[in-house]
Structure 1
Amino acid sequence: MGIMDKLKGLIGQHEDKARQVSDTAEKKVNERTGDKYTSQADQAQRRAEGSLGMSDRPEQPPT
């Protein structure tokens, strides 16, 4: 069993916490870049979550 399989298993059990960590990471990227790359950070977050098998969340309206 590879590390990605282990991560997917853990995320399945604790998806809410994993999502919080993912959101926090995206916020930090946006803070450090002065919100210059918000769309790219969002896209990267969605790809990472998808790769880890996290369920899609509904689209949130832009703030």
Structure 2
Amino acid sequence: MSVFDKLKGMLKGHEEQASKGVDKAGDYVDGKTQSKYSGQVDTAQEKLKEQLGQTGQRPDSPPQPPPPPQQ
């Protein structure tokens, strides 16, 4: 079992808090770097949220269609 799988298990049921933590960490990095790398920070936040099982979508955005089945 990978470390990331363990983290997912620990965060299960606490997705909203994890999302807030990712956002807060990104804001901290943006502050320390004076937003010099804000594009890269935003991309990292999105990818981390995807890995944690979140889509990163806002509640008012339409849902994404599921990916096609693998064959």
User: TM exceeds 0.5?
Assistant: yes
Write 1 or 2 for the structure with the bigger share of helix.
Answer: 1
User: Residue 50 of structure 1 corresponds to which residue in structure 2?
Assistant: 50
SS of the equivalent of 1:57 reads coil
Instruction: Tell me how far 1:33 sits from its aligned partner.
Output: 0.5
- Identical counterparts, % of pairs: 36
- Structure 2's unaligned 5+ residue stretches are 59-71
Residues 2-17 of structure 1 aligned to structure 2 (within 5 Å):
2-17=2-17
Q: CA deviation at 1:55?
A: 3.2
TM-score by length of 2: 0.69
Instruction: Output the CA distance in 2 between the equivalents of 1:16 and 1:45.
Output: 14
- State the 1:2 CA deviation: 3.4
Moved over 3 A (4+): none
Tell me how far 1:42 sits from its aligned partner: 0.2
| CA contact 1:11–1:54 (8 Å) conserved in 2 | no
Larger Rg: 2
Q: Could you say which structure has the greater relative contact order, defined with CA pairs below 8 angstroms and 6 or more residues apart?
A: 1
Aligned residue type for 2:18: A
